[in-house]
Chains A and B, each alone.
Chain A
Amino acid sequence: MKILMRWWKALGQVMGEGDYARYCEHMRTRHPGVRVPTQKEFYLSRLNERYSRPSRCC
């Protein structure tokens, strides 16, 4: 069960679940005091960036 949970979490990481939390952590430690976008803003801007360059292959 524990292993299954770990795999599930890893799969979530692969698909980008933890991106926002990591970004917040980065902003908190490296740029304290700078306004951090909300999760919605972050999600939208990341999607636009991601699909502007090759992300899928044949």
Chain B
Amino acid sequence: MKPASNGRRLAKVALWVIVSLGGAISLGAIALNRKEPINAMWLIVAAVCIYLIGYRFYSRFIALRVMELDDRRATPAERLEDGRDFVPTNKWVLFGHHFAAIAGPGPLVGPTLAAQLGYLPGTLWLLVGAVLGGCVQDFVILFASIRRDGKSLGQIAKEEVGSVAGFSALFAVISILVIMLAVVALVVTNALKASPWGTFTLAMTIPIALLMGVYLRFFRPGKVLETSLMGLSLVLAAVVGGQYIAQSPTLAPLFTFDARHLALMIIAYGFAASVLPVWLLLAPRDYLSTFIKLGTILLLALGILAVRPMLAMPALSRFIDGSGPVFAGKIFPFAFITIACGAVSGFHSLISSGTTPKMITKESQARMIGYGSMLMESFVGIMAMIAACVLQPGIYFAINSPAAIVGTNPAAATATISSWGYAVTPEDMQQLTSLVGEQTMFARTGGAPSLAVGMAHIFASTLGGHQLMALWYHFAIMFEALFILTLLDAGSRVGRFMLQDLLGHFWKPLGRTSWYPSVFLSGVLIVAGWGYFLYQGVMDPLGGINSLWPLFGIANQLLATVALCVATSILIKMKKIRYVWVTLVPMIWLVLATQTAAYQKMFHPDPRIGFLAEANRLSDSIASGRIPLDKIAATERVIFNNRLDAVVTGLLALLVLVILVDSAREWIAILSRRKLPVLREAEYVVSAMAED
């Protein structure tokens, strides 16, 4: 670094004083203005200032002091360059690549659901959780993988902690994947239920993707950008065309399905997509969704800056007492479990120990790519929170409350919601329904429809006014559904490979990825796994999201716990005991939040929170003859599913405890000098590449 002159140093100090003051003032404005609505810009300014401070100071501290990133040390991309996987890549290109890989539906849906508590709890955790937890996890795991030739989290856990931890990690990853796929599929199902416009648009993305696949395969191999642009224009045409389908009395019924049929179709689709050749459906759909994802996130940011909307939701709603209709449970632990990916996402550790470490040119770039892209992800979460909170709270609750809680009658539902103190009338809902071109907006749980209304509100205020509201709403639904389906395809396929890897431990032939029976068996197992949970969610009288989203949040945060635990082991072995709190403190917090949430989801006496309490309540109802005869079989299935959910939650929590205990034993052995710390890093090779 060049020594800065006094004048420049002063200017720098002044700049950081301004950034800190800006952050402090905005946070103060957010915290103190409890009575009257505030402008969304306060959230944006607070977030950006906190990110800047976190990036400038905390990530620098981690880079220089904790991990001692060394640019003279050659990265795997340089040492093992093969022109395919290991390729030194421009840091901005890699940043885009990494961000596109980590950004998914989680940070959009989680904050939307957490908005039932008011904007404050979710926003604070999105900021604090990202700066001190999520970004640190992504950054440290990326660093660890760079030092180990780009090995995966499972391999690192096995080598640095032990084979019990490694095996548990692999098993945990597969179970978490299955639950994740089920819950995102449920979000799509709920968004498309009884919506011919949305269903038509999403259905059209299948032939469009096939067309793109054929074009890329046979006519213009590798010309991804022009093909994506072509696909994008076809998808936009489908969004516009959907309107005519929805209005046509003959065509609309062809694309109108209930949740059960939609779920079955999505399961069939997921299986087909995961076994078809990737070039035909999976890859082109992925290109399309990456393209639209990056574009829409940018558009949303510009929209919020242009409109600068007021937040209609209060800072804290009455549901901080744990009685909320969207999900049941108090702020601790459920706000943290619900926000999940926008603050800390365990899944990112798989990307940080996947492709990215093999493409990084210099160790110091891990700071921008690991820490920086998670800050962006957190910002996406903040934008989703804003989009949910610009809606009138009464409308937000009418969209997101399941019918089992507020009833199916519009007058009764709006009366219930108004009695909570969030005024809404049947006319308000009728007006919204016709504005967005849907059949009903009541009980559209899952977060996607209310996020789409919020986004449409912001977009329509910038461009086109109320006439275009329906178009923007369905554009937003298409955007969410498109990359959720991409996640289903890609996730089912990866899950298949992971399962084969795991089964190969028990019987070698099952691990062979070219042996057809094994491919088929593991493909069916994975899709049947998430398909079962999806179907159960669809049939759940409480709407499914209430039980599945917390399960997903717990699973995801448990994976983050594992990642931070591995990171802590590495810091201890690097003799960085002094700085071990960097990963240990967020890990302990996650252990507290996830274990509490897991315990409450299993044993809480409130049937809306505890799976077993709900099962017992229902079996009591059957025993006392309060369930009509024809409903008994269905109720028994719900009882079984609640017990199953309790067992799955318990198993996941137990698995993570095994990994923690296994790691703690290793830490104690090293700290008490019974064991020498042996790091399994790749050899040190001096880099021949110039620093850029």
Listed in ascending order, the chain A residues whose CB lies under 8 Å from chain B are 8, 10-17, 19-20, 22-23, 25-27, 30, 39-40, 42-44, 46-58
B601 at interface (Cβ–Cβ under 8 A)? no
In the complex, which residue of chain B has the Cβ closest to the Cβ of A40? B221
Q: Are B106 and A11 in contact (CB under 8 A)?
A: no
Q: Are B225 and A15 in contact (CB under 8 A)?
A: yes
In the complex, which residue of chain A has the Cβ closest to the Cβ of B110? A58
Q: Are A15 and B354 in contact (CB under 8 A)?
A: no
Interface size of B by CB at 8 A reads 57
Contact of B103 among A14, A15, A57 (CB under 8 A): A57
Listed in ascending order, the chain B residues whose CB lies under 8 Å from chain A are 81-85, 87, 90, 92-93, 96-97, 100-106, 152, 180, 184, 216-217, 221-225, 228, 278-279, 282-283, 286-287, 290-291, 294, 341, 345, 347-348, 350-351, 354-355, 483, 486-487, 490-491, 493-494, 497, 513, 552, 556
A16 and B225 CA atoms in complex are apart in Å by 9
In the complex, which residue of chain A has the Cβ closest to the Cβ of B483? A56
Question: In the assembled complex, how far is the CB of residue B227 from the closest CB belonging to chain A, in whole angstroms?
Answer: 10
Q: Are A15 and B291 in contact (CB under 8 A)?
A: yes
Contact of A54 among B283, B341, B494 (CB under 8 A): B494
Q: Are A14 and B83 in contact (CB under 8 A)?
A: no
Q: Is the interface of A mostly helix, strand, loop or mixed?
A: helix
Interchain residue pairs A-B with the least CB separation, the first 8: A26-B83, A14-B96, A58-B106, A54-B350, A23-B83, A43-B221, A13-B93, A58-B104
Provided the pairs A15-B225, A51-B283 are in contact, do residues A56 and B106 lie with their beta carbons within 8 angstroms? Answer: no
Q: Are B217 and A15 in contact (CB under 8 A)?
A: no
Q: Are B224 and A16 in contact (CB under 8 A)?
A: yes
A12 and B104 CA atoms in complex are apart in Å by 20
Question: In the assembled complex, how far is the CB of residue A31 from the closest CB belonging to chain B, in whole angstroms?
Answer: 9
A23 and B221 CA atoms in complex are apart in Å by 14
A15 and B216 CA atoms in complex are apart in Å by 13
In the complex, which residue of chain B has the Cβ closest to the Cβ of A39? B221
Residues of A within 8 A of B82 (CB): 26
Q: Are B216 and A43 in contact (CB under 8 A)?
A: yes
Q: Are B224 and A56 in contact (CB under 8 A)?
A: no
In the complex, which residue of chain B has the Cβ closest to the Cβ of A43? B221
Q: Are B90 and A13 in contact (CB under 8 A)?
A: yes
Q: Are B104 and A56 in contact (CB under 8 A)?
A: yes
Q: Are B225 and A57 in contact (CB under 8 A)?
A: no
Question: In the assembled complex, how far is the CB of residue A55 from the closest CB belonging to chain B, in whole angstroms?
Answer: 6
Q: Are A40 and B217 in contact (CB under 8 A)?
A: yes
Provided the pairs A10-B96, A14-B97, A20-B222 are in contact, do residues A56 and B286 lie with their beta carbons within 8 angstroms? Answer: yes
